[in-house]
């Protein structure tokens, strides 16, 4: 995700903004807000206070059935038959409505996910709008090719929407990653049943309401909230779902591939990461350390491409560790609604306990806890930004995705050693390299096993560039024209001219 400039300070800040008023939240199916057929609900908690902020309808297989049926009707009816340019106009109107509700949506995202409001306004929300407007522009430009196969035939290709899409969205960037899936699928003419993460369902429900207001026909976008073990599995196994797009953990991704094999659904997966941020001793160490801190502590480290392994050449190692520790200790931790806050809570008690368990594992493995590694306060799921020094490549904290504000700083000798360490995990999502030697950084970029390589920077993304990885980091690519391939099927047409 995009790197940001942090606001530094020393004190935990008091709340500075009032949370938006919330109501009981219902499913959105076929253009209407409805209760789950079972009547069951679940609670959504504010990660910063542990207080209940909403009661949300808990969907199940029966709700998925009616949502998929609505999506199928809309696909065969008004959405697929609508002029592509008109679909684009609706998406642009939706973007304008979202912008008119900027403060409301940003506050909702901050409250529900524990994200600092300044970061939401700086990255999450603008990125969602950029994605929507970018793919709105593509709606009437998705075309095929004339292929001159032979003289007695007119042969050409067209690209048709894949059909009903199940979009399963994670909790770390619910608004932004949600739009990464919604915008291209809708631009291509697909219809959608979206399952937001159980922990962060609120922004999806609100933006879907605004999509209806923008003119999206009933059934084109449906939201079914609830746990992955029921709603997610029902979508993956549903015979009338044509495509699954998922962002989340490798373990769940493997389960989705198995479930989708039942009727050969198309699948795209954006999964985990253990990205290496490599700093050679000839780099600008101040710039590299600043970006390395942002690359791991942004969104409390809950980022698939977080630079959770900082690899530093021997001569620069001590200085980089010192700089990282200083930046970690200066981060302003506090209420996400306060615009001065740089580091909010992690998403849940379960996630907090998992991260703290990894801190203990790191200490037991012999790594040096240079700073952090503790819970902050006794309310909310705050963890102090954590720097481990003297980390060995084979340690679990170096190999396993922690998904929290924990960085392992690892020493390397030379270019070959750096590349060996950078490629030495099961993941291949992203990598960064810092050096004044242009040949060195280009060699590294070519040989690094990563879907994205940043040179003398870290963390930037743009919807116009492909995004994704291989191995345990996933399957396929999002963004750019790659996303159009995700949601369309090519069809060849052969017309005999000798009639």
Catalytic residue numbers read 270, 304
HSE-up (13 A, CA, CB side) for residue 3: 20
H or E segment and range at residue 247 = strand 243-247
Q: Are 30 and 66 in contact (CB under 8 A)?
A: yes
Q: Which tokens in the block code for residue 458?
A: 């870290």
Q: How far apart are CA 181 and CA 184, in angstroms?
A: 6
Q: Which tokens in the block code for residue 12?
A: 């935990």
Looking up tokens 């990563």 gives: 450
Q: Which tokens in the block code for residue 43?
A: 């609670």
Per-residue HEC secondary structure of 188-216 comes to CCCEEEEECCCCCCHHHHHHHHHHHHHCC
Beta strands, E only, 280-381: 309-313, 368-371
Positive or negative: CA dihedral 122, 124, 130, 133: negative
Q: Which tokens in the block code for residue 300?
A: 């409390």
Q: How far apart are CA 37 and CA 353, in angstroms?
A: 34
Q: How far apart are CA 449 and CA 496, in angstroms?
A: 47
Q: Which tokens in the block code for residue 449?
A: 């096993």
Residue 346's alpha-carbon distances to 74, 117, 175, 326, 454, in angstroms, are 38, 14, 17, 21, 26
Q: Is 180 exposed, middle or buried (0-12, 13-18, 19+ CB in 10 A)?
A: buried
Q: How far apart are CA 41 and CA 348, in angstroms?
A: 18
Q: Which tokens in the block code for residue 357?
A: 């368990």
Residues 6+ apart with CB under 8 A from 442: none
């Amino acid at each position: 995700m995009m790197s940001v400039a942090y606001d530094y300070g020393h004190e935990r800040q008091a709340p500075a903004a009032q949370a938006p008023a919330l109501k009981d939240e219902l499913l959105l199916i076929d253009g209407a807000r409805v209760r789950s057929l079972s009547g069951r609900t679940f609670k959504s908690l504010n990660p910063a206070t542990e207080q209940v902020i909403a009661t949300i309808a808990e969907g199940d297989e029966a709700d998925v059935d009616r949502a998929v049926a609505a999506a199928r009707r809309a696909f065969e009816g008004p959405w697929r038959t609508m002029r592509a340019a008109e679909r684009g106009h609706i998406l642009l109107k939706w973007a304008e409505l979202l912008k008119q509700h900027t403060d409301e949506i940003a506050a909702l995202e901050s409250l529900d996910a524990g994200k600092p409001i300044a970061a939401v306004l700086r990255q999450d929300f603008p990125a969602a709008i950029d994605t929507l407007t970018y793919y709105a522009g593509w709606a009437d430009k998705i075309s095929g090719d004339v292929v001159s196969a032979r003289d007695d035939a007119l042969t050409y290709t067209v690209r048709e929407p894949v059909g009903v899409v199940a979009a399963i969205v994670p909790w770390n960037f619910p608004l932004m990653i949600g739009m990464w899936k919604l915008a291209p699928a809708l631009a291509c003419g697909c219809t959608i049943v979206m399952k937001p993460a159980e922990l962060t369902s609120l922004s999806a429900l609100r933006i879907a309401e605004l999509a209806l207001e923008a003119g999206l026909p009933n059934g084109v976008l449906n939201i079914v909230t609830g746990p992955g073990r029921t709603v997610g599995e029902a979508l993956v196994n549903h015979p009338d779902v044509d495509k699954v797009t998922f962002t989340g953990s490798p373990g769940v991704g493997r389960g989705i591939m198995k479930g989708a094999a039942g009727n050969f659904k198309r699948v795209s997966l954006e999964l985990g990461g253990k990205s290496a941020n490599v700093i050679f001793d000839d780099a600008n160490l101040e710039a590299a350390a600043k970006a390395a801190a942002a690359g791991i502590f942004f969104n409390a480290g809950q980022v698939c491409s977080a630079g959770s392994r900082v690899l530093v050449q021997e001569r620069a190692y001590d200085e980089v560790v010192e700089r990282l520790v200083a930046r970690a200790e200066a981060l302003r931790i506090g209420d996400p609604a306060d615009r001065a806050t740089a580091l909010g809570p992690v998403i849940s008690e379960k996630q907090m306990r998992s991260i703290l368990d990894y801190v203990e594992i790191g200490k037991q493995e012999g790594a040096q806890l240079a700073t952090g590694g503790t819970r902050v306060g006794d309310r909310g799921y705050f963890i102090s930004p954590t720097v481990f020094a003297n980390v060995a490549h084979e340690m679990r904290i170096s190999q396993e995705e922690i998904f929290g504000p924990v960085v392992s700083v690892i020493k390397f000798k030379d270019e070959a050693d750096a590349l060996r360490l950078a490629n030495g995990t099961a993941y291949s999502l992203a990598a960064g390299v810092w050096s004044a030697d242009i040949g060195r950084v280009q060699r590294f970029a070519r040989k690094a096993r990563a879907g994205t390589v940043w040179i003398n920077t870290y963390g930037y993304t743009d919807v116009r560039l492909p995004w994704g990885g291989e191995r345990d980091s996933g399957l396929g690519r999002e963004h750019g024209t790659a996303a159009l391939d995700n949601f369309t099927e090519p069809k060849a047409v052969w017309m005999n001219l000798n009639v």
